[in-house]
Amino acid sequence: MNVAFRDTASHRILDDWLTPAITVVLAFVVNRPGHADEAPTIDSVVLQDDALTESSGLAWSNRSKHHVWTHNDSGGRAELFAFDIRTGKRTGHCDMPSVRAVDWEAMAAMIDDDGVSKLIVADCGDNRRAREHIVLHVIDETPVQQDVRLAENQIRSVRVRFPAGPMDCEAVAVDAQSKKLWLIGKGFLPRAVVVSVPLASVLSGKETVVAKSGGTLAIPMVTGMDIDRDSGDWWLCSYFNLFHIRSDATRGDDLRSWPVTVLPTVKLKQIEAVAVAPDGRVWVSSEGVPCRMAVAADAAPSTQPQH
């Protein structure tokens, strides 16, 4: 059932879609078929590095289908961690000493028109809504099995101003189809402000870009976002729920009319980020030591409820 999100605490919503959604999630987690030439499916993993205290952003590597990149929240070093999800072991590290990490909240991965894998790190947190601009840092993806220290000239930093003034933001995703970088605001009310920036402006290293308003979604407390590069579907997360927006050419430009499917997510300490894996499974990550990742849904069309 597609619903416009209102109040997850009400008994009506619990009765209408929460129980069926739990059934759907349990069904694919338990019964998802494997492949004869692959190891058994892993549905959760502990990220084994005490230096990672909060997996605030998450992006799947384009160099290896078994590796993810993540980073800490505010107050930490400007560094990225690469983990092998089959073991949970940290295999790579990217240090960015020339960058000041004010409040890193999100990251995204993409492949540019030249076939080069890129990582975009969003220094976009603004709890007090006082920042005149946020900063996007763009780098070539470093090897997932090496520790690398980047020079200043290996990092492109772009300042982004929001059209309606400062806002707290923890969700960023690359849309390969529209060639945009989408950013979603975080707030207590079910009114998430959506803006976008052309990928060309981000990759060019243009000094300052003003984001374009994209409307609002009736979703509160958005903490993470990813866009399935194959289907174009949007996946958002909050501390307690997962939100799925199907890619549909007929849905129009008015975000308020987009049907949102609400799913319960897995029980982790505090869901901070979401990423779609190459095999179509949707993973979320959390804060705390050790940080954990777990499968929360499956992006494959055959496993999603049809409406």
Per DSSP, the three-state class of 298 is: strand
Per DSSP, the three-state class of 51 is: coil
Q: How confident is the model at residue 252 (pLDDT cuts 50, 70, 90)?
A: low
Cα torsion angle, 306, 262, 293, 73, sign: positive
| Token pair 């892993």 in the structure block, residue | 42
CA–CA separation, 179 and 196 (whole Å) = 10
Give me the pLDDT at residue 48, please.
Answer: 95
Q: How confident is the model at residue 30 (pLDDT cuts 50, 70, 90)?
A: very low
The CA-atom distances, in angstroms, between 256 and each of 190, 191, 194, 225, 236 are 11, 10, 11, 17, 15
| 241 and 225 Cβ atoms separated by less than 8 Å | no
Give, as one character, the DSSP assignment of residue 184: E
What pLDDT digit, counting tens, does each position of 83-120 carry?
999 999 999 999 999 999 999 999 999 999 999 999 99
- DSSP labels, 201-232: HHHHT-SEEEPEEEEEES-----EEEE-TTT-
What residues have CB less than 8 Å from 109, skipping those under 6 apart? 59, 60, 61, 62, 69, 117, 118, 119, 120, 141, 174
CA–CA separation, 71 and 109 (whole Å) = 13
Strand ranges in 130-251 using DSSP code E only, listed in sequence order = 134-140, 147-149, 156-161, 169-175, 180-185, 192-198, 208-210, 212-217, 224-227, 234-237, 241-245
Looking only at Cα atoms, what is the longest distance across the chain? 55
pTM of the model: 0.84
Query: Could you tell me which residues are beta bridge partners of residue 169?
Result: 185
Q: How confident is the model at residue 249 (pLDDT cuts 50, 70, 90)?
A: low
In terms of DSSP bridges, do strands 261-264 and 271-276 run parallel, antiparallel, or are they unpaired?
Answer: unpaired
Give me the pLDDT at residue 264, please.
Answer: 83
In terms of DSSP bridges, do strands 134-140 and 79-84 run parallel, antiparallel, or are they unpaired?
Answer: unpaired
Q: What b/e readout covers 27-61, taking b as 16+ CB neighbours within 10 angstroms? A: ebbeebeeeeeeeeeeeebebebeebbbbbbbbbb
Mean pLDDT, the chain, whole residue set:
85
Out of 1-5, 38-42, 101-105, least confident range? 1-5
What pLDDT digit, counting tens, does each position of 145-198 carry?
999 999 999 999 999 999 999 999 999 999 999 999 999 999 999 999 999 999
Per DSSP, the three-state class of 239 is: coil
